[in-house]
Amino acid sequence: GSALALVALGSYAQEKQITLGFAQVGAESAWRTANTVSVKQAAKDAGINLKFSDAQQKQENQIKAIRSYIAQKVDVIAFSPVVESGWEPVLTEAKNAHIPVILTDRSIDVKDPSLYVTMIGSDFLEEGRRAGRWLEEHYKNDPGPINIAELQGTVGSAPANDRHSGLMEIIKNDPKFKIIASQSGDFTLAGGKQVMEAFAKTYGKQINVVYAHNDDMALGAIQAMEEAGMKPGKDVNVVSFDATKGGFEAMIAGKINVDVECSPLLGPQLMTAVKDVVAGKQLPKRIVTNETVFPMSVAAQVLPQRKY
Ligand code: AHR
C-alpha cells in the first residue's frame, strides 16, 4: 500500500502541471483571434494550466500582466509584444525571479539576449520582401510611376516595422516605385477604412497600389475605396498580409491581388517549447514559421484548406 502510494507520489511529482502565463496583444484582427484560439487549445491538449490576459493593444497592460505572472510565480511566461521597445525592466524582473520568458509572434529590441529563451514566429522582414518581389514581377513591363499607399500596422510593432523595411529593401533601387502616403491603421478593419478614406480624398486615382500590413486593414480599405468609386483589385492593386479566410474571400471576389501568408497557429509549437524549457532542454534562439505567398489566381482552390 505505502509502496504504491510512493510510486504514485513520485509520478505526480514528475508530472506536476506546468503553469504558463500568456500576455496576448489584444483582439485587433482575425489573425489575433485565431492565434488566441490556437494558444488556448494547444495548452488544453498539452495539459498545461494557462493564465491568459488580453492587453487591448497597450504595452502598459502587457507589462502589468507580466508582473502579475511573476508575482504568481508561474513556471513560464510567454507573450506577443505589442511593440518592439521598452521591455528591459519587466524582463529583468522575470529573469531575477528565474522565470523563463518565451516570445511568440512579435520580436523585441533588447541588448541582452538572455532576457528571453526563444522567439517563435514569422519572419516579417521576409514577408515584406515577398510582397516587394510580387510588385516587381507584376509591374516588370510597366514604366511607372507606381504610386503606393501604405496602411501600416501598429506603430512601433515588429510586423509594421519589418513589413515596411522588407518592401523598401526590394523597391528602393527602382525609382518607378514611390510610397506616396503611409499611415497606421493599427491592424484593425475600422482603422484601415478610416485611413483609406483620407487617402482616397487626397490622392484618388493617383494610387496604383494599396499596401496593407494585414487583411483586416485591407478589408476596411476595400470598403473605403468602393465608397469612393474606386475599384480595388482592378484599377488599384491590393497587397495584403496574413492570408486569413477573409483575405481569401476578398481574393476570390477579385479585390485583393496577393496575400502574403503569416500563420497565427503557433500554439502547438509554443507548448512544446514550454515543456522543453521546464525540462531543462536547450532551445534554438529563433523558431521561424513556414509560410508562402498566395496570388489571387490560386485563392478559390486553396480556401477550403485554410484553417484561419
Ligand atoms: O503580429 C502579427 C500581426 O498582428 C498580424 O499580421 C496582424 O493581423 C495582427 O494584428
pLDDT tens digits for range 39-91: 999 999 999 999 999 999 999 999 999 999 999 999 999 999 999 999 999 99
**Cβ(79) to ligand 1 under 6 A?**
no
Pairing, β 19-24 against β 76-79: parallel
Confidence category of residue 9, pLDDT binned at 50, 70, 90: low
pLDDT tens digits for range 85-123: 999 999 999 999 999 999 999 999 999 999 999 999 999
ipTM greater than cut 0.95: yes
Report d(CA 274, CA 286) in Å as an integer: 14
Best CA proximity match to 82, nearest among 32, 34, 1, 25:
25
Q: From 28, 80, 262, give the residue whose CB has the most ligand 1 atoms within 8 Å, as the site to mutate.
A: 262
State pTM to two decimals.
0.95
**Cβ(259) to ligand 1 under 6 A?**
no
CA of 275 to the centre of ligand 1 (A): 26
Residue with cell 476570390: 252
Pairing, β 209-212 against β 237-242: parallel
CA of 187 to the centre of ligand 1 (A): 7
> What's the whole-number mean pLDDT along residues 191-195?
98
**Whether residue 304 has a cis bond before it, omega within 30° of 0:** no
- Grid cell in block for residue 5: 502510494
Helix/strand/coil percentages in the chain, nearest 5:
45, 20, 35
